[in-house]
Amino acid sequence: MKTILVISAILAIVASGTAQTTIQGSITDNWGNSLPGVNVFLKGTYDGTSSLSDGTYTFKTNEYGSHVIVYQCIGFENFEQQINLSLSTISINVVMKEKADKLEEVVISAGAFEASDKKKSVVLKPLDIVTTASSNADIYGTINCLPGASTSAEDGRLIVRGGEAEETKTFIDGLLMPVPYHANLPETPTRGKFLPFSFDGMMFSSGAYSAEYGDALSSIVNLNTKDESARTETQLMLMSVGTQINREQKIKKSTMTLSGGFSHLGPYFSLMQDKVEWEKAPVNANGLIQFRTKPSENSMLKVYAQSNFGNKSIIYDNINSDNKYTIGMKTYDFYGGVNFSQTMENNGQIYAGISYMNTYENIDIVSINNNDINKYFIHTKLRYKKIFTSRISIATGAESKLEQQTIKYSSSYEKDSASETSLNINSAFVESRFRITEKIASQTGLRIESIDHEILVLPRTSLAWSINEQNMFSFAYGKYAQRLSYPENEYLEKSSQAEHYVLNYQYEKFNRVFRIELFNKTYSKLPLQSNNQITTNGDGYAQGIDIFYRDETTIDGLEYWISYSFTNTERHYKDYEKSIQPLFVRKHSLSLVMKQYISKLSSFYGISYNFGSGLPYFHKSISGYSLETTPELHDISFNYTYIFDFFMNKAYLYSSVSNVLARKNIYGYEYKNEPSENGSYERRELYNGSKPFIIIALGVTL
């Protein structure tokens, strides 16, 4: 009797020790897909399991009574539920919600190239600016090698899909940088004003860009300044053409960059005779201050200020005059931008920024006339964005751009004059990003601009369909407007307009990208000169196809890309008597860019080949003008960088040669006013020098 009691007591104790409840179910996401790899467990215990590939899960627990069951998966919001464990099997099916910021990861590639650390796409990388051979460490030189930008070595500015250089606007951290290029004298190309290491991200939109931006008929470039410096250090760069010194300073939670430099092309040009006769070879001084701080964990304040001073003078030869002119150009400018952004707990983001620029230009044609041009620009911008769920977000903002210009003209032959113009553009936008299905996302918005008495309503929309991880189709459409000036420095009474349609297919796998894009743009209200009157009756169109392929895997350490653009465009505007291909557009543009790091030699090298079909020009003959094409442009550039130790400090030796072929890339002709005896008109070739341009630089980090 007693033994039975004891045995049953023992059995009861053992049984209660192994009494288990089974918990099971299936887990899906908010799109209805089963979710494998979800960590399911009872809070505070080790009991749990991972969901299987079909989204089901099952586990047993010895726990008893009231508990909380937790579901956890990367990319999703945690899900918790109160349950009561009482030995009977519990079935719980769960739907997990994607984290809201998943919406931001959706990329709509139509018309846009983006390079940043967060977007790990292979298409464009921040380092490309320095490593692309033909760029001469100029951001615009690199963008020039991308599809959408037609080869424009003669100019140096971006010519995008048949649009003039003025139709592309540059922004820094979302704020307008009105004059990003150095001023250029006739027959000399220009370049961007930026130091390559100021930025760690860039977005180039060759068309159909978002409602957040405006006043650019063709495209926009948005440069993102570095969030922080890696460490406190000083860098010194000695170049064959000048010096630059950089100081990165970390101060608690902030970082500051100070940079100053000076360049003088005199010694270089006296060694390597240039085509242009310099009276004063270009001298340039620059200064830069960047400051970033995080007032709180989720906010950032950034300041970017740069200043440039330049002086140069050429002895200019015109085919129609017996004398040579001396043209001098003095420039000074200052640009400053401050922006503040903050992410709030409820997934709202605010942004506020202001930029200011003052440019001064004095162009002196000795003994003839003098132009003194002073320009001021202020851009203020506010933006609020709220990400509601991983399916929808809305952004809205308002901005104001103010521009003022004073020109003082004095001449030995005419009366002195002065003019003042100003332009004020106020705009607001609203834009929503939403996912129609798991694989289809759209960004649709509306922009309203008010300039004087003109009100513009500009819709924008884009759509992306991710067939799978590797393949994506996207489409974009938008209406764009810009107040152009014609003649130079005189704003028109109405804004010119353009409508963009872009269709894109992109394939990306294992560090290889293939991209093909079709575009169609129609222009209206372009400036047109007829009967000595300037109207806005000009129009035009641009259509074409861009093909891009980039590979960084096939050969170890070697990266290369091929970019081809075809642009078929005509405009009837400015002083064109009829609709013709604009004189600054090349029908075919091809860039082949290659770079490689050779660890055994501790070096980088890069090679670029740029090709452009000839530019149209008006050939003058006794029977009048006829439209012809200049010879093609071929340019091969090479750069080589060697990294070494300089008395315990990091150092590099950089060398680059552009126009290795020493080719005369003719972009036009200048004709004599009077014909010669045989009836033809003498002409002079216009080209930017045929000698290779060499830069050597030594950089040391102290």
Partner 1 sequence: MKKTFISLALVLMSSVALLANNFSDILKNTVTEFDTTAGFEAKSAVLQKIERIALAEPDEWLAQYYAAYAYVFINYLAENKDMQDNLLDKGLEYLNKGIALNENESELYALLALWYSSKMGVAPAARGAKYAGKLNEALAIALAKNDKNPRTYFLKGQFAYHAPASFGGGKEAALTFFQTADELFKDSTNTNPLFANWGEYTNLEMLKTTKNELAGK
Distance CA 218, CA 240 (A): 36
CB of 75 to partner 1, least distance (A): 7
Which one of residues 1, 4, 32, 230 is an interface residue with partner 1 (CB under 8 A)?
230
Cis preceding-peptide flag for 267 (omega within 30 of 0):
no
Candidate ranges 46-54, 157-165, 252-260, 680-688; the one touching partner 1 (CB under 8 A): 46-54
Q: How far is the CB of 65 from partner 1 (least distance, A)?
A: 17
Q: Considering beta carbons, is residue 332 or 597 the nearer one to partner 1?
A: 597
**Whole-angstrom distance, CA of residue 619 vs CA of residue 643:** 50
Pick from 90, 127, 440, 534: which binds partner 1 (CB under 8 A)?
Answer: 127
Q: Does 37 bind partner 1 (CB under 8 A)?
A: yes
Could you give the CA distance from residue 598 to residue 614 in angstroms, rounded to a whole number?
Answer: 37
Query: By CB under 8 A, is residue 12 in contact with partner 1?
Result: no
| 3-state DSSP helix/strand/coil % of the chain, to nearest 5 | 5, 60, 35
| CA separation for the pair 278, 314 (Å, rounded) | 4
In the stretch 434-473, what mask flags binding to partner 1 with x, by CB under 8 A? Answer: -----------------------------------x----
Number of chain positions touching partner 1 (CB under 8 A): 43
Is there a contact between 634 and 661 (Cβ–Cβ < 8 Å)?
yes
Question: Using CB under 8 A, which of 414, 488, 556, 645 touches partner 1?
Answer: 645
Stretch that binds partner 1, among 292-300, 497-505, 579-587, 644-652 (CB under 8 A): 644-652
Stretch that binds partner 1, among 5-13, 368-376, 391-399, 422-430 (CB under 8 A): 5-13
* By CB under 8 A, residue 702 contacts partner 1: no
Residue type, position 136, single letter: N
Among residues 651, 653, 695, 698, which is the contact residue for partner 1, using CB under 8 A?
Answer: 651
Candidates 1, 4, 32, 46: give the one binding partner 1 (CB under 8 A). Answer: 46
* Closest approach of partner 1 to the CB of residue 694, in Å: 24
Establish if 48 lies at the interface with partner 1 (CB under 8 A). Answer: yes
Decide if residue 10 touches partner 1 (CB under 8 A).
yes
Going by their DSSP bridges, the two strands 454-466 and 440-451 should be labelled as antiparallel
Residue 41 interacts with partner 1 (CB under 8 A): yes or no: yes
CB of 2 to partner 1, least distance (A): 7
Q: State in angstroms the smallest separation of the CB of 696 from partner 1.
A: 19
Identified binder of partner 1 from the candidate list 8, 19, 33, 45, rule CB under 8 A: 45
- 17 is a contact residue toward partner 1 (CB under 8 A): yes
User: Does residue 74 interact with partner 1 by CB under 8 A?
Assistant: yes
Sign, CA torsion 689/690/691/692:
positive
Is the Cβ of residue 514 or residue 611 nearer to partner 1 in the bound state?
514
Question: Taking the C-alpha atoms of 311, 317, 322 and 323 in order, what is their torsion angle to the nearest 10 degrees?
Answer: 10
To which residue do tokens 């851009």 refer?
A: 379
Stretch that binds partner 1, among 188-196, 287-295, 394-402, 647-655 (CB under 8 A): 647-655
3-state SS, 1-18, equals CHHHHHHHHHHHHHHHHC
Among residues 121 and 569, whose Cβ is nearest to partner 1?
121
Backbone CA torsion sign across 112, 117, 123, 127: positive
Rule CB under 8 A: say whether 550 interacts with partner 1.
no
* Contact call for residue 50 and partner 1 (CB under 8 A): yes
Query: How far, CA to CA in Å, does 572 sit from each of 149, 479, 494, 522, 533?
Result: 21, 20, 17, 12, 15
What phi, psi does 272 have (nearest 5°)? -110, 95
Which is closer to partner 1, CB of 44 or CB of 459?
44
Looking only at Cα atoms, what is the longest distance across the chain? 141
Helix (H) and strand (E) counts in the chain = 4, 41
**To the nearest whole angstrom, how small is the minimum distance from the Cβ of residue 394 to partner 1?**
25
Query: Are 529 and 112 in contact, with CB atoms under 8 Å apart?
Result: no
Q: How many residues does the chain have?
A: 702
At closest approach, how far in Å is the CB of 12 from partner 1? 11
Q: What are phi and psi of 156, to 5 degrees?
A: 95, -15
Side by side, which strands form the sheet with 39-42? 48-50, 39-42, 65-72, 79-85
Residue 128, classed as helix, strand or coil, is helix
The piece of 48-56, 145-153, 399-407, 575-583 that touches partner 1 (CB under 8 A) is: 48-56
Read off φ and ψ for residue 389, nearest 5 degrees. -140, -175
Is there binding between residue 53 and partner 1 (CB under 8 A)? yes
Distance CA 196, CA 284 (A): 17
Q: Indicate the SS3 state at residue 165.
A: helix
623 contacts partner 1 (rule: CB under 8 A): no
In angstroms, give the least distance from the CB of 353 to partner 1.
25
Residue 492 interacting with partner 1 (CB under 8 A): no
Each residue 187-226 as x (binds partner 1 by CB under 8 A) or -, in order, gives -------------x--------------------------
Mark 95-124 with x for binding to partner 1 (rule: CB under 8 A) and - for no binding: ----------x-----------x--x----
Rule CB under 8 A: is residue 78 a binding residue for partner 1? Answer: no
Contact between 643 and partner 1 by CB under 8 A: the answer reads yes
Give me 97's structure tokens: 């919600």
Beta strand pairing call for 666-671 and 199-205: unpaired
Minimal distance, residue 148 CB to partner 1, in Å: 23
In whole angstroms, how close is the CB of 507 to partner 1 at the nearest point? 15
322 forms part of the interface with partner 1 (CB under 8 A): no
Q: Of 608, 491, 544, whose CA–CA distance to 138 is shortest?
A: 608
Determine if 343 is a binding residue for partner 1 (CB under 8 A). Answer: no
Phi, psi of 196 (to 5 degrees): -60, -30
Contact partners, residue 337, CB within 8 Å, separation at least 6: 172, 173, 175, 177, 302, 303, 304, 305, 353, 354, 355, 356
Cα 552–Cα 557–Cα 558 angle in degrees, nearest 5: 55
Residues from 239 through 298 that contact partner 1 (CB under 8 A): none
Segment lying near partner 1 (by CB under 8 A), choices 49-57, 87-95, 276-284, 300-308: 49-57
**For partner 1, which stretch binds (CB under 8 A), given 208-216, 584-592, 605-613, 642-650?**
642-650
Q: Which region among 12-20, 188-196, 389-397, 655-663 touches partner 1 (by CB under 8 A)? A: 12-20
Nearest to 147 by CA among 597, 660, 502: 502
Q: Which residue of 76, 94, 112, 126 would you call a contact of partner 1, by CB under 8 A?
A: 126
Closest CB to partner 1 among residues 13, 622: 13
Q: Which helix (H) or strand (E) holds 129?
A: helix 128-131
Q: Residue from 33, 54, 231, 598 that binds partner 1 (CB under 8 A)?
A: 231
Side chain identity, residue 106: V
In which element (H, E) is residue 143 found? helix 139-143
Minimum CB distance to partner 1, residue 10 (Å):
5
- Among 121, 116, 148, which residue's Cα sits nearest to residue 548? 148
* Rounded Cα distance, 219 and 482, in Å: 11
Residues in contact with partner 1 by CB under 8 A are 2-3, 6, 9-10, 13-14, 17, 36-37, 39, 41, 43-50, 53, 62, 74-75, 105, 117, 120, 125-127, 200, 230-231, 469, 599, 602, 643-646, 649-651
